[in-house]
A and B are shown apart, each in its own frame.
Chain A
Amino acid sequence: MRSILKEKFLLFRIRAKKDPDAFGQIYDAYVKPIYRFIYFKVPSTEQAEDLTSETFLKAWQYLKENREVQSLQALLYSVARSTVIDHYRKAQTELPLEDDRGNILTDVGSEKLLKDIETSHDAEQVIAKLRGLKDEYREVIVLKYLDELSANEIAATLGKSAANVRVLLHRAMRALADAINHESQNAQKNPHPDS
């Protein structure tokens, strides 16, 4: 999507023409980035799927009420963030669930993955460390390198200035690199007895 004019036209179709397919197009454009945004905040794919569905339903309610929308992208990320926060508030007493995504590798079937075990290991390590970063670092990395948003788009989504986003991104990447390098150094110092 990302075309402001196109977004405005879709909003017009929803509000004036009462055309549900227009919301379908919004879903098609944003379901993957919104799912990914949530995926890195919750421990299971089921929860990510449920919360993504909830996010789109809430966004629909918002649009239906004819409330002001400056940017669909910013609206959806904002709704996604509050949906995840609500989810954790509700489950405050529950302990974090085991991450059930360890098995994903086996059913991905990526040829590249099977051919290059080393890269796969690196990627696993990067994703694991990415999950361990603090929220604002993880968000900015996901938006920049996985969703490929520009600094301005990230700024609009997170409600920060573009300059702030660039600084944050720099710090986030350094934190991620440090976490990975720190683990590698530890592994070299204390090699596993079986290896």
Chain B
Amino acid sequence: MNPKTLKKILTQTRNERRGGAPREAWVSQNRDILLMQVRNTMDPQPANFAEKLRHVLRLFVPVEALAMAARTVGVFVLVLGTVLGGGLASVQAYRDALPGEVFYKVKMATEKVQLTLAPNDDYRARLHVEFADRRAEEIARLAEATATNETLAANAVAAFTQEVAALEQGLEALRNSDPEGVIEVAKLLERKFDVYQGMLRKAGHTLPTATKSSIAAAIDMVDGASIKAIAVIVEKHLAGDLQAPQNVLVTKFEDRLKEAEAKIANGQSGTTQTNSTKAKAAIAEAKAFLKKNDYQAALLKIGEIAELTKETEAEEAPAPETEAKTEQAPAPTASPVQADDAAGSGSR
């Protein structure tokens, strides 16, 4: 059989079932089933304008090239604006803008554009770190101001917690999209969260009284996010990642335990007597797990301690899920991050 005949036969059979054509009835039936499953799993919330814009850019424009072009244009506009609009003072005014000031909206809009143009999850996560830094600094500066409007302070705290939530989401997105790069971001976030908690506590002393509860909630939220970052480090350590060595992990655990002990000793948080006793016991157990190198179990205990020593008003009654978590602690197959999802969420 010559190649020409062969090609002819192959082409002729393409619409026959022996040539791999599917049954029409199956095609149609399978389509209905598939679309039903698609509808059931599709997020019903329509995308907002910023998301739509990001999708358009990602799909139709090479984003890296666009981001570079946008940066170039941005720098040009900034230089032009600086020259025409009053020298370096205008740039400083935009950067230092606080909630309630004219330039603040420009600052926020610029950040949104930067996020929209972020070429990947890693870049986006690092942008959120920068913006969370700015929000924390804004809170600190509002706290230093002699007369701070309650609404402005509350808005600033809300904007900060939004950034923390975005950081948590960004970390989770990176776990899927960049399993090798996520460890660096997790370590960075863990350090940052520690700094944020310090800044928030300090600001809490001087901000209007009405803001104190939202500051306490923000501290707890940061604490939960910090545990999630540690969970990623634990996960990577257990997977043999050299960027998550044992000494780093142990130090992070020990630092957290020391902080918890200090909180209990100083009566710093809204912790009740019952919870303090439980927290002390949980700290002892966490230390025991650390000695046995059982980091998953230690992580669960850290989540439990965070719940017991949270800044917001604690309840006297023990949370039933806390006990359940304690029982699950030694389970060797539990994913640290999944386990932490349960533990961390409780602290918010």
A and B part of one assembly? yes
Q: Which of A87-95, A159-167, A176-184, A187-195 contacts B (4 or more CB under 8 A)?
A: A176-184
Which A residues are in CB contact (< 8 Å) with B327? none
Complexed CA–CA distance, A177 and B42 (Å): 48
Question: Which positions in A face B, CB cutoff 8 Å?
Answer: 8, 11-12, 15-18, 20-21, 23-24, 27-28, 31-32, 35-37, 39-40, 45, 48-49, 52-53, 56-57, 60, 64-68, 101, 104-105, 108, 110, 112-113, 119, 122-124, 126-127, 130, 141-142, 145-148, 173-174, 176-177, 180-181, 184
Complexed CA–CA distance, A173 and B4 (Å): 10
Q: B26 to A49, Cβ gap below 8 A?
A: yes
Knowing A28-B31, A65-B176, A104-B17 are in contact, say whether A8-B22 is a contact too (CB < 8 A): no
State the main secondary structure of chain B at its contact with A.
Answer: helix
Question: Which positions in B face A, CB cutoff 8 Å?
Answer: 1-3, 5-7, 9-14, 16-23, 26-27, 30-31, 33-35, 37-39, 41-47, 51-52, 55-56, 58-60, 176-177
Complexed CA–CA distance, A15 and B38 (Å): 12
Q: B55 to A177, Cβ gap below 8 A?
A: no
User: Which residue of chain B has its CB nearest to the CB of A127?
Assistant: B18
Q: A101 to B18, Cβ gap below 8 A?
A: yes
Q: A16 to B38, Cβ gap below 8 A?
A: no
Q: A24 to B18, Cβ gap below 8 A?
A: no
Knowing A8-B60, A31-B27, A123-B18 are in contact, say whether A146-B33 is a contact too (CB < 8 A): no
Q: B1 to A142, Cβ gap below 8 A?
A: no
Q: A177 to B1, Cβ gap below 8 A?
A: yes
Knowing A60-B38, A67-B177 are in contact, say whether A53-B30 is a contact too (CB < 8 A): yes
Which A residues are in CB contact (< 8 Å) with B7? 145, 173
Besides A146-B11, A177-B1, 9 other CB < 8 A contacts?
A12-B55, A18-B43, A27-B31, A39-B22, A49-B26, A112-B12, A119-B12, A126-B13, A127-B13
